[in-house]
Amino acid sequence: MSGERRRLPAPLRRVLGIQARLGLAFAVILLLFAGSALMFRAALSEVDQARAATDRSEKVLQAIDALFVLVLDQETGLRGYLLSSKDEFLQPYRLGGEHFEQSWRDLQELTTDDPRQQGLLQQWRSDMLRWRGEFAEVVLEHKRRDDEDAELALVRSGKGKRIVDGIRVLVGQMQKHERDLLQERAAHLQARLDRTRELIVLMLAAGLGFVALSLWVVARTVTRPVTQLTALMSRLSAGDTKLEVPYRGHADEIGALARGLEVFRRSTDELAGREWLQTRLGELSVALQACSTPQQFGERLAECLSTNSGAVCAVFFRWDEAHQRYEPSGAYSLPGGSGQRSYARGEGLVGQVAQDGQPRVVRELPESYLRVRSGLGEMAPPSLRLLPLAGRERVIGVIELAYFTEPGTLQADFLGQATSFAALVLETLERGLATMELLRQTQYQKEELQASDEALRAQQEELRATNEALREKSQLLEEQGQRLRASEEELRVQAEELRVANSSLEERGQALQSQKQALEQAQAELEEKAVDLEQASRYKSEFLANMSHELRTPLNSLLILSKGLADNEDGNLTAEQVESAGIVHDSGRNLLNLINDILDLSKVEAGKMQVVAEDVNLAALAAGAERNFRPVAEQKKLTLEVFRAPGLPASIHSDGTRINQILANLLSNAFKFTHQGGVRLEMLPIGEGKHAGGVLLRVRDTGIGIPQEKLARIFQAFEQADSGTSRRYGGTGLGLSIVKALAELLGGEVRLESAPGQGSTFSVSLPAAVPAENAPVAARPAVAAAPPAEPVVLPAPPVAEPPAEAPGTTILIVEDDAQFAEVLAGLARGRHYRALVAHDGESGLALARRHRPAGILLDIGLPKMDGWQVMERLQSDPLTAGIPVHFISGADAEGQARAAGAAGYLKKPVAREDVERVFDGLPGLPAGARRILIIDDSPADRRLVREMLRGESVQIDEVGSAEEALERTAREAYDLLILDLGLPGMDGFQFLERASARGPLPAVVIHSGRELTREEGMRLREYTETIVLKSAPSPQRLLDEVTLFLHSIRKVGAPLATPPRPAAASFGGKTVLVVDDDMRNIFALSKALRSRGLKVLMAQDGYKAIAQLESNPEIDLVLMDIMMPGMDGYETIRRIRERDSWRSLPIIAVTAKAMVGDREKCLEAGANDYCSKPIDVEQLVVQMQALLG
């Protein structure tokens, strides 16, 4: 309480609360600093005035010197002319005369506040005019008239010299006067500065002092009470309710907080009391219900009431119906000889309490009444408490308790409720005992009856002998019969009670049986529904597969024919026709994307969509989204903002492909429905909740918005805000369904806020890591090779190493499929690479160590040692660790491949263009011969970069200007340019424009010494994505970027290679049978194949295909559609393989069914390869080349 007495005076505390006190302190501080600022401003103003006066004196001195120089120039020029008679010597004289008047007026303006200087300046001008008029002009006139005598006489008279000497004296006086003024003003300025410093120190000290005083007052009046109340709150939360809350009398916020804490303490205390009471009553219930005798009941009751109410001893008296007295029936800690007698109603305190039915408390007991003993001593309890146990008809017991200290209110409540409950338990126990006694008596009577029956049978012979004995026995039997009937009646009553009890148990059993049956029925219904759902899912998968076929079949013809028309290979189409064909081809592609969306949604709903967990860089994610949608925004004249909030994690462990799909769908939707304003993408950290540590992706637009009644349905498949026949916007309504499904697949959720005319906001919450149940089960994807169903093994060319002198860089292909490996090798040789082929991991490792190729194409599903193990061995071997590896596999494991260190990843089936791009990215020069050109005007920076790259196998050239760089790149080929933008003359931007205009640029790394504007960054994106600013960490970043380029750049100087199109000569004389029930497909394929030199035969079903093969044994290859009427493709292929003559005939299965397992079914039927519709003709040609050799 001493802390309360030392706070602010009571009246002030009542008037001022915490907020007012803090406000007053801060207001005084602000006023103090405002006054200091005003005084400091006034002092600075005086200093500025003094400094201005000083500066003016310095300018006057400089002007005096300049004006006197003009006088000397005139005198010197005149003297030179007089001595040399050359007109050029008059130039200083004339210029000096022209400039003198202006300089004199400037000096006059500078000295307007100094009358003395003004007077001297007027004298100077007068003397100068007199010198020119009386001397200089007269001499010149004599000189022009060639009057040398007059000229010499005037010069020798010394008149001109006297005037100039007078001017020198004037100049000296003016300079001395101004220097005196300058010293005086400098001293005044220094005095002002000293005074300003003293003022700053004084005001700073005063401000700090008042702040310290304010902090001390706040600590005394606010911080200390809050700290004390916080400590009390911690004790209270830990369960300590026996504490005193101070500051309750305060009228401010501290008092309100203290009063609230007191209320909370009381509530906690009451709640703890109720909890204690219920717990003790529960313990008492368990203890009493376990008793089987009245004596045991009394002992348990006395023990429980004593221990829970603080009594030191207790005795229980039970009503004995037989003796009509209250007999002792259990005690607790009772001294020997006490509590042994019984009491009638009204007798003693026990009998009186039983008769009144009210509890009684007796205090101030004499020392001799009762003494409680322990091992250390004895003491007389000062008070007694007698409590009745009231039954339905009478008091059936009394409990007497002795106390050293009176029980509290909580203990008294416990005693009251405990005695009421104990009375019910005791009545139930006595009724149970009475029932057991009746049962025992009934059993005894039954045994007596059986004994009587035996006696009757034994006495029947005696009864026949004598009638008297018979009458006596009959009388005896009558009496026994009466007793028996009485016993049977009692037995019947007891049996009825037992029947009622059994009936209750039977009803409970029936209820349990009914619940069991209901549960079994519900389980059966759930199992039936599960079967129905599984069947429906199977039907849906089959439906999607069939619909995929029915849609892809016409798409196949559409895309092939439209692509051929758009390419206009024959050059016989107009530009408008080519454009129309391109539009048809793009529309077909859009329809194909729709089919893929439907299949994606089906895979998610069926739980077959796999998550490839990897570290997803959020900055790269945002940059990619901006790069992809910036052209859309510019086309629609909308704004696009990308905001990454501070505190955003650098990355999350999730599926980057799926997140990109989510962002693409949301941003596409936003731009689609927005016509004014713009779209904003926000990335925010999630600080709390189930997604804490993750990221919130939010897409806002200013579009048309969504009505409230349609918000709930907008995420359903094929749902749109406007779905009427006259709707303005197209689309299927699948995008948001896929967004929701993908977000849930990644462990996140999607929320939507929208209103008509106010735009929409979609928020996707993603966790920091994909939940374990969604992530892949194994770290390494299992790549199962498609089961070959007796495939026809075509003779593959022997895997032989090319001769050492083969041109180009060596490429190693590790692929167990010999045909596909030969296709890759052919493509590599077509690009002038030296190709090595290995069909298993061990052979591939041996070739890699021996030849150290420039790049490796690696399959995952290899025999014995899979691709992951090969990659691990390559990375751990110093000889092969630096070789770039590209995976080519049918597994969806790009994320893991990147994490393992792969340079690239292609998923089978791959297009020829994809493989060509891989070759484009491989280095075209032998190791150690890659060339780098450093373009920087700073020799130090060039030397730093050269030193950094000393450990790399590179050849480095350097130039200091863009012009030299243009000349050097025109003469020689380089793999990489390291370019500084701030070059002298032609800057980096102009160099890039000039160099790119001449031809393809090498790879470029911008190494700039200044920050770039947004427009400059956009200009540079046309040439490179790599920009490194010169700063402390930039050398390591530059080294990382250059190292990355050394693994990925292609040879500069060679033109970009385009994928070589299969020439017609490669298929010369070959015949292909096209089997398809759709004439559109046959027409399209035939046209494309004939243009490549192939002879094409056709069949519209399986039967006709076999007939064609029988009629035309020269057929070299079959393109077999799968979905055909009558005999489908599977059966047709099986029939073909049954003939020995056709067992080695190459067959490519062509189908629109792109579901999981379709490829395996085709290969199992006997096909050599598989191609899905819509057909990529270039890819099909590559497959045919591989099979036809």
**Domain chopping of the chain, boundaries:** 17-224, 290-368+379-432, 612-723+730-766, 810-921, 930-1048, 1064-1188
Question: How many residues are there in the chain?
Answer: 1189
The stretch 347-358 carries a mean pLDDT of: 89
> Do 853 and 833 form a contact (C-beta atoms < 8 A)?
no
Q: Rounded CA gap, 383 and 233, in Å?
A: 38
Bond preceding residue 787 cis, omega within 30 of 0? no
CATH number at 290-368+379-432: 3.30.450.40
Cα–Cα dist 672/732, whole Å: 13
Q: How confident is the model at residue 207 (pLDDT cuts 50, 70, 90)?
A: confident
- Residue 386 has what pLDDT? 92
Q: Which pLDDT score, from 0 to 100, does residue 863 have? A: 81
Question: Is the per-residue pLDDT at 264 higher than 80?
Answer: no
Highest-scoring range by mean pLDDT, 164-178, 528-542, 682-696, 1075-1089: 682-696
For the chain, the 3-state helix, strand and coil shares in percent, each to the nearest 5, are 55, 15, 30
Lowest mean pLDDT, pick from 253-267, 279-293, 855-869 = 253-267
Q: What are phi and psi of 574, to 5 degrees?
A: -80, 165
List, edge to edge, every strand of the sheet that includes 1071-1075: 1095-1099, 1071-1075, 1117-1121, 1147-1151, 1169-1172
Q: Identify the residue with better confidence: 234 or 618.
A: 618
* Tally of CB atoms within 10 A around 1113: 9
Instruction: Give yes or no for a contact between 697 and 683, defined as CB atoms under 8 angstroms apart.
Output: yes
User: For 1-28, what is each residue's pLDDT tens digit?
Assistant: 334 334 445 555 444 666 776 777 778 7
Is the confidence at residue 799, as pLDDT, over 60? no
Q: What is the pLDDT of residue 778?
A: 34
What percentage of the chain has pLDDT greater than the value 70? 75
Contacts of 719-727 with CB under 8 Å at 24 or more apart are none
Query: Is pLDDT of 594 > 70?
Result: no
Asked if omega into 909 is within 30° of 0 (cis), the reply is yes
Which of 544-558, 764-778, 909-923, 1076-1090 ranks highest by mean pLDDT? 1076-1090
- The reply to whether domains 810-921 and 1064-1188 share a CATH topology is yes
Strands of the sheet containing 834-838, edge to edge, are 834-838, 810-814, 855-858, 885-889, 904-907
Q: Is the dihedral of CA 290, 296, 297, 301 positive or negative?
A: negative
Question: Using H for helix, E for strand and C for coil, what is the string for 1135-1183?
Answer: HHHHCHHHCCCCEEEEECCCCCCHHHHHHHHCCCEEEECCCCHHHHHHH
Residue 511 makes CB contacts below 8 A (sequence gap 6+) with none
Q: Is 475's pLDDT higher than 60?
A: yes
Taking residues 1036-1045, report their average pLDDT. Answer: 61
Q: Which one has a higher pLDDT value, 711 or 198?
A: 198
Q: Do the Cβ atoms of 1005 and 1024 come closer than 8 Å?
A: yes
Q: Which of 251-260, 382-391, 568-577, 850-859 has the highest mean pLDDT?
A: 382-391
Structural contact between residues 949 and 977, judged by C-beta atoms closer than 8 angstroms: no
Tell the CATH superfamily of the 1064-1188 domain.
Response regulator (3.40.50.2300)
Helix axes 253-289, 409-465, angle to 10 degrees: 10
Q: What is the pLDDT of residue 217?
A: 76
Average pLDDT taken over every residue of the chain: 76
Residue range 930-1048 forms a domain whose CATH class is alpha beta
Beta carbons within 8 Å of 626's beta carbon, 6+ residues apart: 640, 642, 681
Fold of 810-921: Rossmann fold (3.40.50)
**What pLDDT does 780 receive?**
33
Q: Is the predicted pLDDT of residue 172 greater than 50, yes or no?
A: yes
Residue 962: is its pLDDT beyond 50? yes
| pLDDT(178) > 50 | yes
- In 3D space, the residue among 396, 409, 407 whose CA is nearest the CA of residue 307 turns out to be 407
pLDDT of amino acid 313: 92
- Using DSSP's 3-state secondary structure scheme, residue 1097 falls into strand
Query: For residues 1000 and 531, which has the higher predicted lDDT (pLDDT)?
Result: 531
Instruction: Could you please state the CATH topology (level 3) that the domain comprising 612-723+730-766 is classified under.
Output: Heat Shock Protein 90 (3.30.565)
Instruction: Decide: helix, strand or coil at residue 213.
Output: helix
Question: How far is 932 from 949, CA to CA, in rounded Å?
Answer: 10
CA pair distance 38, 56, nearest whole angstrom: 27
Three-state DSSP state, 811: strand
Rounded Cα distance between 665 and 732, Å, is 12
Going by their DSSP bridges, the two strands 834-838 and 1147-1151 should be labelled as unpaired
d(CA 658, CA 612): 9
CB-facing half-sphere around the CA of 328: CA atoms within 13 A: 13
Contact 629, 671 (CB under 8 A): yes
